Amino acid sequence: MSNWHPELIPITREEDYYTHYLGETENGILFFGYDTFVFPNGFSSGNWEDERLEYALVYLFDKKGNPIETKYKYAGKTSEIQPGKTNQLLEELIAELGKLEFKDIEVKPFKTEIDGIDFGLIPNDEIQMIELQPSSTIAFSEPWDGEYYT
């Protein structure tokens, strides 16, 4: 346990929301899949759709919550892809996992780099939250009950 967060972060599955693709594969691998975006050079006053990059990701963890692999697909710039493309890529990544049980999981915070960008469940010491990065889509904090904040 760190000074402010537990070693394992509980994550509650919420169907049709940010933690919809959460659970365990038939062979005991935990997974967390979602789609996200990032502004790699920050957000300027230009056309945001030309600056925003879209990704589909699935994080894999062993039974003890240790990160073991990140699978991802880069969808493209928002301006260059059809609506629903990122979700389609996410569903393809999830399908590759085989037979699944959707359920709550507990995993360790981690960080991985993709295309020079930090992704993962990353501790933010300043605000004492574990943030799903990039874009701080959701965050976890006390009372560490699996619920998240948007």
Residue-wise pLDDT tens digits, 11-55 = 999 999 999 999 999 999 999 999 999 998 887 767 888 999 999
Mapping DSSP to helix (H, G, I), strand (E, B) and coil, where does residue 105 land? strand
Of all helices (H) and strands (E), which one includes residue 94?
helix 85-95
Q: What's the pLDDT score for residue 137? A: 84
**Do 120 and 111 touch, CB atoms closer than 8 A?**
yes
In this model, does residue 120 exceed pLDDT 80?
yes
**Per-chain mean pLDDT for the chain:** 94
First and final C-alpha spacing in the chain: 24
Q: 126 or 44: whose pLDDT is higher?
A: 126
Q: What's the pLDDT score for residue 44? A: 75
Please state the domain extents for the chain: 9-109
Which residues, in sequence order, are CB contacts of 29 under 8 Å at separation 6+?
60, 61, 62, 63, 68, 97
Whole-prediction pTM value?
0.94
**Do 33 and 93 touch, CB atoms closer than 8 A?**
yes
Burial zone of 22 (CB within 10 Å; 0-12 exposed, 13-18 middle, 19+ buried) = buried
